[in-house]
Amino acid sequence: MHVHVTPAVERLRPYVAGPRPGDAFEGVAPEEIVLLHANEYPEGPFPEVIAAVSAALSGLNRYPDQDCSELRALLSTQLAVSPGSLMFGNGSCELLKLLSEGFVEPGGHIVYPQPSFVMYGILATQRQGRVSAVPLRDHCHDLEAMSSALTPSTRMVIVCNPNNPTGTYLAPPALRAFLEAAPKQTLVVLDEAYGEFVTSPLWEDTSRWVERFPNLVVLRTFSKIYGLAGLRVGYGIAHPEVAQAVDRLRQPYNVGTVAQVAAAESLRHPNLMEARRLHTRRERERLSQELDGLGRRITDSQANFVFLNIEGMSVPGEEVPRLLLSRGVMTRSGYFMGCPGWMRVTIGSVEENNTFLEALGSLAS
């Protein structure tokens, strides 16, 4: 081959996703595997969303609304932010990518926590960025160390709250102090993919913080609590000039019609969303107690997953995720996320969580 990829692409590895239809894992048929590896919600979209999507299908010969007008209007009212401060993407991952392209020149300095969402490292590689990956302290962002890593030439810092994979939640006052201290020319990306699952009394809606901090972008997604991971739609809230930069960079019609309809309809049912938040909290608390009973150390999660220590079991920690899979439960090993000795498990339905607990119990001693 005579064509050659750029040095950045040479260093990248494809994103490793979960099981595909037809794959068999450890002798278990794929349809029998309980999927607790990708932090998805265990149920699909709300019934009203399925009805709205079905009604929209006959219009798919037309391109989508380029401005996501209906979704924008609904969100702008619900969040009490101006329509111009919203941006929409093919999942919040697309917005992360567009923001890094728009605000980090090749070789620019990027700061993010470690371990955290793997995409941050991938984006930094794509930008051929100079990286400061700041280790967590007690499984939580070390905001002091992250602040120290920032210089006036840092182009972007990412904060993941709650953090993936540890689930830990940064209290708003600490986050606000971090923002106050950050250089005004550094874009601060606050990734709240799991924000809807937070039930801490300290929780604060950060949507309107962008009025006080014009260098802040808050990212959220419909992939998690709304059960729309398969559609790919996320949004960001920022100063309108930041939103305009993303608007200039994005592809036309980057959010499909079905995704727009589904996201808009999802917003019309806050009571259903609240029920999902409560289910997650109940199961998070139950799982935490049961895991404690099995002698497992866990982090203090506010997300739809728990992060647990898998050392000192009857089998080596590295083996635990594979052995769980052979018992029909797919989880995410921390050994590949820079967290040896740990594992992340999504909170599923009551039955799915029971299957996981039973499988783990069989390896506990």
CA 275 to each of CA 212, 233, 344: distance values in angstroms, whole numbers, following the listed order: 32, 21, 23
Subset of 107-126 contacting ligand PLP (CB under 6 A)? 117
Distance of CA 284 to the CA centre of its chain: 17
Q: Give the interface segment with ligand PLP, choosing from 51-59, 85-93, 129-137, 292-300 (CB under 6 A).
A: 85-93
Shortest Cβ 263–ligand PLP spacing (Å): 11
Q: Give the interface segment with ligand PLP, choosing from 28-36, 221-229, 261-269, 332-340 (CB under 6 A).
A: 221-229
Shortest Cβ 95–ligand PLP spacing (Å): 8
Q: Which is nearer to ligand PLP, 323 or 337 (CB)?
A: 337
Conformational region of residue 27, where left means phi above 0, alpha means psi within -120 to 50, and beta covers everything else: left
Angle between helices 92-103 and 240-249 (to 10 degrees): 100
List the Cα angle 310/315/317 in 5-degree steps. Answer: 30
CB 246 within 8 A of CB 94: no
Q: Which is nearer to ligand PLP, 41 or 213 (CB)?
A: 41
Shortest Cβ 193–ligand PLP spacing (Å): 3
Q: Which is nearer to ligand PLP, 193 or 320 (CB)?
A: 193
Question: Could you tell me the two tokens for 276?
Answer: 């999902």
Binding-residue pattern over the window 86 to 105 for ligand PLP, x denoting contact by CB under 6 A: -----xxx------------
Q: Which is nearer to ligand PLP, 178 or 197 (CB)?
A: 197
CB 218 within 8 A of CB 237: yes
- Is residue 273 a contact residue for ligand PLP (CB under 6 A)? no
- Is residue 234 a contact residue for ligand PLP (CB under 6 A)? yes
Other beta carbons less than 10 A from residue 214's beta carbon: 13
CA 48 to each of CA 160, 226, 263, 324: distance values in angstroms, whole numbers, following the listed order: 31, 12, 11, 35
- Given the rule CB under 6 A, which residues bind ligand PLP? 39, 91-93, 117, 160, 164, 191, 193, 221, 223, 229, 234
